[in-house]
Copies of this chain bind each other. A is one copy, B any other.
Amino acid sequence: MQTASINLEPVAKQVSDVLRQWIMSGHLPAGEHIRQDAIAEDLGVSRAPVREALLTLEAEGLITRQKYKGAFVAEISLAEVRETYKLRSLLECFLFENALPRITEKDLQRAEKIVHESLATTNSDDWMQLNIDFHMTLYEPSQLTLTMQTLNGLLLRTDRYFRLQQAISPSVQHKSHDEHQEILDIIRSGDHEAAVRLMREHIESNSDEVIQFVEDGAKADPASLPPDPDTP
C-alpha cells in the first residue's frame, strides 16, 4: 500500500511509457529513426532517462539500436507475425489447460463482467485492453507467472498490428464477444478438453484474421512490411 501522490514514478519509466505508447499507436511508425535529443527535448528531460528508456524498449523488442547510428522502431516481417501468433496459441492453450482446474466461480464472474463491459465499449483501444484482460483473467489461476510474462512480451510486439485490424473491422468485436461467452459457458460445463479446443479455435481464427489483414496491407503497401531485414 503506497501513497501514489507522494511517490512519483522515475522519469526514465515515464519516458519509456510514452515512447511505448507512441510506437503502439503508430505515432512513431515502423522503421522511424529515433534521435535521443529530439525525444529529450520533446519531453523536456535530459538524454539520460531517454537512453534508459531506449534500452528498455530494445529489450522488449519494440526498437533496434545500432552503434553510433541510433534507434529505429522495429520492423516486423510477415513471417514473424505468423510465428508470433502460433506462439501465442501455444502459450495461451498451455496457460488455459493449467488454469482450468483452478478456475473458480469468482474468476468466471470477473471474466463475465469484462465481456459485458467490452460490449458497451466503442473505443478500439479500450476494447482491446478488455480483450486481453478477459484472456488473462482465465489464465491467471494457472499461477504460471513466467509464462504469462512471456505472453505479455509477445502481445507487446504484435499489438500494433492487432490494433490496426480492430480499428477497421468492428464486426470482429461481436464475433469475439460471442466466442468469449461460449468459452465461459463451456468452462462451466466442466468439459476441459472441449474448452481448450474452443479456446484454440478462438485464438487461431483471430490470428487468421489479423494475418489476412496484414497480408493485404503488405500487398497494397509493400513498404510497410520489409521482406528482408537491413537493406543498406
* A interface residues (Cβ-Cβ under 8 A, vs B): 10, 51-52, 55-56, 59-60, 67, 79-80, 83-84, 86-87, 90-91, 94, 143-147, 150, 153-154
In the complex, residue of chain B having the shortest beta-carbon distance to the beta carbon of A68? B10
Question: Does A94 contact B90, Cβ atoms closer than 8 Å?
Answer: yes
Could you say which of A55, A67, A147 has the most chain B C-beta atoms within 10 Å of its C-beta? A55
- Of the residues B10, B59, B94, B146, contact of A80 by C-beta under 8 Å: B146
Report how many copies the assembly holds.
2
Question: Does A146 contact B59, Cβ atoms closer than 8 Å?
Answer: no
A145 CA / B82 CA spacing, docked (Å): 12
A-B CB contact pairs (8 Å), 14 listed: A51-B52, A52-B52, A52-B55, A55-B55, A79-B143, A80-B145, A80-B146, A83-B144, A86-B144, A87-B94, A87-B144, A90-B90, A90-B91, A150-B150
11 additional A-B pairs beyond A55-B56, A90-B94, A146-B154, beta carbons within 8 Å, are A10-B67, A55-B55, A55-B59, A56-B59, A80-B145, A80-B146, A83-B144, A86-B144, A87-B94, A87-B150, A150-B153
**Minimal beta-carbon separation of A19 from chain B (angstroms):** 14
Specify which chain B residues have a CB less than 8 angstroms from the CB of A154 in the assembled complex.
Answer: 146, 150
Question: Does B83 contact A147, Cβ atoms closer than 8 Å?
Answer: yes
* 3 closest residue pairs by CB, A with B: A59-B59, A55-B55, A83-B146
**Minimal beta-carbon separation of A170 from chain B (angstroms):** 29
Specify which chain B residues have a CB less than 8 angstroms from the CB of A79 in the assembled complex.
Answer: 143
- Of the residues B52, B56, B87, B94, contact of A147 by C-beta under 8 Å: B87
Specify which chain B residues have a CB less than 8 angstroms from the CB of A143 in the assembled complex.
Answer: 79
Question: Does A146 contact B55, Cβ atoms closer than 8 Å?
Answer: no
Specify which chain B residues have a CB less than 8 angstroms from the CB of A10 in the assembled complex.
Answer: 67
A154 CA / B153 CA spacing, docked (Å): 13
Specify which chain B residues have a CB less than 8 angstroms from the CB of A84 in the assembled complex.
Answer: 146
